[in-house]
Amino acid sequence: MSATSFGWLVLVFPVVGLLITSLGWRALPGRSAGWIASAAILGSFLSAIGALVDMQDHPAEERHLVDSAWTYAATADLEVDLAILIDPLSVFMCLVVAGVSFLIHVYSVAYMGGDRGYARYFAYLNLFVFSMLLLVLAANFVLLIVGWAFVGAASYLLISFWYRRGTATAAGIKAFVMNVIGDVGLVIAAFLLLSETGQLDYLGVFEEAPEAFGRNDGTLVAACLLILVGAFAKSAQLPLHTWLPDAMEGPTPVSALIHAATMVTAGVYLIARCFPLFELAPTAADISAVVGTATLLMAASIALVVTDLKRVIAYSTMSQIGYMVLGVSVAAYGAGLFHLMTHAFFKALLFMGAGSVIGAMAGAQDMDRMGGFRKAMPFTFVTFTIGALALAGFPLMSGFFSKDEVLAFTIDRGGGYLVLGIVGYLAAALTAFYAFRMVFRVFFGEPVPEARELERGHVAHGEPMNPATGEPEDTDVGFPGPEHHVAERSGPMKAAMAPLALLAIVGGIVAVPGLTDTLEHFLEPTFEESRFHDTAPTEGAELIGLVIGAIISIASIGVAFLMYMRRRGITLELRDRFTAVHSFLSHKWYFDELYDAGFVRPMATAGSFGRRVVETDFVQGFIVGGSTGIVRAGTSFARAIQTGFLRAYALLLVLGLAGLVLYFLIASS
């Protein structure tokens, strides 16, 4: 089988899984829907490996395989095929997406076990994986937009999966609308590219671009910025980020899969995919780098004060994606994608651990109520800590190498990029601090009642309530499931977390400075046209970077240790002393309030203005009223003549007749 056939198989498996789980939901017994869905994703993963093996057989310069199934839409000067592109970048993304998705499917088999919407959940999950794979395999911009929007739709469905929660549905609509804004950006960008290059296929556009556009050509910069709108909306970068923290309303495995490991990194993939455009439009690339850096700093700062466990990880995700965006924007494609991969491992792991803890807390997510789970949940504790270490960039963990490679490349570009790199290191310090803030607050300290109960051998069962608002949950239909699951007592959850923990530790070996450059080498055919192909920081610089990173990471973990283990009250003191800062951070820099005042409320006002004033006064009053007024005036005149007075009619008749006679007399004379 050829690589492209494998590529199609990658897409076919999740569709089959989707069809089986969605059409057979009534007939599938027990947990079989989950296993069928997982098997489908495993099939995708194996097919992706097949594509990889087959592609490696081709010589390096021929590793861009396009295969078209049929013409999607062709008219006038537009031609779009339903085609996939197999190249190292897409295969790499397929492997990461399908691999992590498979593990999260397995985790979900147990985690979502008691939920009434079990089959529906796996149908959505398969739909998501299909969309994501379509997104990365698409060979042209239109198909990319299709995958892009499908991913957004699947994300919407999964965020509002527990659709009886008002908070969940509100979060869903927010995420969906933000994503649609991104879609529209991509549509306009696609048009600009089409009108200048006459193509929509990636390879065609990239080939034509250097001739069609000058360096920093206005149209191209506009197109790139619009692509960035799409990328930022999906990847939760400033200023389109506000949906991501709210997206934590979804089930925890969803947060792990979509809102950490795969979907939100689509923006990074897109920037990397469009690198020939961004290198022609360095202004756009610089804007992207700045936005990425700003996001990573802002998100890390918010993560310091948030107390909802899942939302801390969500802000951490935004911040880490900021690193990736920075990486691919400064032409460190290998480094950015490397961080994408390691982040997928450790962030999925962190969410899985958080899910386990939330299970033990019977659904509560507030860290203020947690503590001392170390003894009760040894497996979760170990894996979560591994994830936190990788996130913090602790020496020799996977995140250590990838984050520092991004920063090393950034600093190597010199000039203004130096500032970005320094901000990156600053945020790295914050990252390590909040990562261990979570570890220390959840697993250390005095065990809470739930932890003690678990030590005695049973999982706590609290009143079902909405973790965000605290209002009691509507459980008559079993959303979310009445029972809770922790990793310690569930085979599938352990089976999913263990490999991820291993990968979070050793995932860095694919690109250790001075030793290995497997990933870089593998991705080379995609990025060999890059102007920055040969520029890389020297090994010495990278090693210095690693040392700085290690020092920052260890120091920050130490500070967290001091503040949360040695002198527990100090955080409260700090909060009281810097109230303004704290409230600024805990209001998430007031973005929600800003959008509410800037868009949501004006929209609602415009809507009710339209309904109340324009509809009633203008349309009904002026247009309808005006025309009916004329008709009414006419009819009332006609009615006035119809007196009902017979002799009046007769008189009119006679007068009319006399008039006619007179007319003829005058006319004939």
Partner 1 sequence: MDVVWFLVLSAFIFVIGAGGVLTRRNPLVVLLCLELMLNAGNLALIAFARMHGDGSGQIFALIVMVIAACEVVIGLGIIVAMYRNRLPIDIDEMSELRG
Partner 2 sequence: MTVHLSIVLFAPLATGLLGAVLPRGWARWSVLAGTLVVLGYAMVMLADFESGAGGLQYATDDEWIGELGIRYQLGVDGLNLFMVVLTALAWVPCTLWAAIREHDRAKLYFFNLALGETAVLGAFMAQDLALFIVFFDLMLVPFYFLIGGWGTGDRVRATTKFVIYTLSGSLLMLAAAIALGVLSVPDGGELSFSLAELERRSIPEGSQHWIVLLFALAFFVKAPLFPLHGWVPETYRSTPIPVLALLSAVLSKVGVYGFLRIVLPVMPEGSQHWQELFIVIAVFSILYGSIVAFSQDNIRLVIAYSSIAQLGFIVLGIFALDDKGAQGAVFQMLNHGLVVVPLFLIVGVVALRSGGSESLRELGGMAVRAPVLAALFLITSFATLAMPGSPNFVGELLVLFGAFEDKLVYGLVASAGVVLAAVYMIRLFQGVMHNRLGPRAESSDLGGLELAAVAPLVAVVVALGIYPQFVVERSERATLEQIAAAKQHAESRSGPELSVSK
The partner in contact with residue 667, picked from partner 1, partner 2, none with C-beta cut-offs of 5 to 8 angstroms by kind, is none
Told to check if 70 binds partner 1 by CB under 8 A, we report no
CA distance 109 to 33: 9
Query: How many residues in the shown chain lie near partner 1 by CB under 8 A?
Result: 13
CA distance 39 to 34: 9
Instruction: Outline where DSSP puts E strands in 499-556.
Output: none
Q: Which residue has the tokens 């390096």?
A: 60
The partner in contact with residue 645, picked from partner 2, partner 1, none with C-beta cut-offs of 5 to 8 angstroms by kind, is partner 1
Closest CA to 495 of 122, 111, 130, 125: 111
Told to check if 27 binds partner 2 by CB under 8 A, we report no
- Provide, rounded to whole angstroms, the least separation between the CB of residue 83 and partner 2: 13
Please, which residues bridge with residue 74 across strands? 79
Residue 144 token pair:
């990319």
Residue 497 token pair:
């977390």
Told to check if 196 binds partner 2 by CB under 8 A, we report yes
Residue 596 token pair:
């509410």
The partner in contact with residue 633, picked from partner 1, partner 2, none with C-beta cut-offs of 5 to 8 angstroms by kind, is none
Which is nearer to partner 2, 156 or 433 (by Cβ)? 156
Q: Which of 19, 27, 73, 658 binds partner 2 (CB under 8 A)?
A: 73
Q: Tell me which amino acid residue 383 is.
A: T
- Provide, rounded to whole angstroms, the least separation between the CB of residue 618 and partner 2: 7
Which is nearer to partner 2, 418 or 613 (by Cβ)? 613
CA distance 348 to 342: 10
Report the site for partner 2 in 616-635 (rule: CB under 8 A): 618-620, 623-624, 627-628, 631
Geometric angle at alpha carbon 222, from 239 and 174, rounded to 5° = 30
Told to check if 580 binds partner 1 by CB under 8 A, we report no
CA distance 496 to 101: 10
Q: Which of 76, 572, 641, 666 binds partner 1 (CB under 8 A)?
A: 641
- Provide, rounded to whole angstroms, the least separation between the CB of residue 371 and partner 2: 34
The partner in contact with residue 521, picked from partner 1, partner 2, none with C-beta cut-offs of 5 to 8 angstroms by kind, is none
Contact region with partner 2 (CB under 8 A), list: 180-188, 406-414, 459-467, 536-544: 180-188
Told to check if 71 binds partner 2 by CB under 8 A, we report yes
The partner in contact with residue 288, picked from partner 1, partner 2, none with C-beta cut-offs of 5 to 8 angstroms by kind, is none
CA distance 2 to 9: 11
Q: Which of 555, 654, 660, 662 binds partner 1 (CB under 8 A)?
A: 654
Please, which residues bridge with residue 95 across strands? none
The sign one gets for the Cα dihedral 136, 141, 146, 149 is: positive
Told to check if 665 binds partner 1 by CB under 8 A, we report no
Q: Which of 9, 39, 46, 187 binds partner 2 (CB under 8 A)?
A: 187
Instruction: Provide, for the chain, the percentages of residues in helix, strand and coil under a 3-state DSSP scheme, each rounded to the nearest 5.
Output: 75, 5, 20
Closest CA to 523 of 340, 309, 263, 370: 340
Q: Which residue has the tokens 């692509």?
A: 227
Report phi then psi at 78, rounded to 5. Answer: -110, 135
Closest CA to 258 of 375, 347, 134: 347
CA distance 368 to 470: 14
Which is nearer to partner 2, 38 or 160 (by Cβ)? 160
Told to check if 633 binds partner 1 by CB under 8 A, we report no
Told to check if 176 binds partner 2 by CB under 8 A, we report yes
Q: Which residue has the tokens 């149908």?
A: 123
CA distance 539 to 292: 25
Told to check if 188 binds partner 2 by CB under 8 A, we report yes
Told to check if 643 binds partner 1 by CB under 8 A, we report yes
DSSP, residue by residue, 463-474? --B-TTT-PBP-
- Provide, rounded to whole angstroms, the least separation between the CB of residue 668 and partner 1: 15
Contact letters for partner 1, residues 587-626 (x by CB under 8 A): ----------------------------------------
Told to check if 607 binds partner 2 by CB under 8 A, we report yes
Q: Which of 37, 98, 112, 194 binds partner 2 (CB under 8 A)?
A: 194
Identify the three-state secondary structure at position 104.
helix
Contact region with partner 2 (CB under 8 A), list: 203-211, 539-547, 602-610, 635-643: 602-610
Q: Decide: 230 and 267 in contact? Cβ < 8 Å.
A: yes
Report the site for partner 2 in 504-543 (rule: CB under 8 A): none
CB-side exposure of 582: number of CA atoms within 13 Å? 11
Q: Which of 75, 579, 642, 669 binds partner 1 (CB under 8 A)?
A: 642
Told to check if 614 binds partner 2 by CB under 8 A, we report yes
Q: What is the dihedral of CA 559, 560, 561, 563, to 10 degrees?
A: 90
CA distance 287 to 270: 15
Contact region with partner 1 (CB under 8 A), list: 211-219, 369-377, 414-422, 644-652: 644-652
Geometric angle at alpha carbon 251, from 246 and 255, rounded to 5° = 60
Told to check if 647 binds partner 1 by CB under 8 A, we report yes
Q: Which of 603, 633, 655, 657 binds partner 2 (CB under 8 A)?
A: 603
Interface residues toward partner 2, by CB under 8 A = 22, 25, 70-78, 120, 142, 145-146, 148-150, 153, 156-157, 160, 163-164, 166, 169, 172-173, 176-177, 180-181, 183-184, 187-188, 191-192, 194-196, 218-219, 222, 474, 477, 603-604, 606-608, 610-611, 614-615, 618-620, 623-624, 627-628, 631
Interface residues toward partner 1, by CB under 8 A = 638-647, 650-651, 654
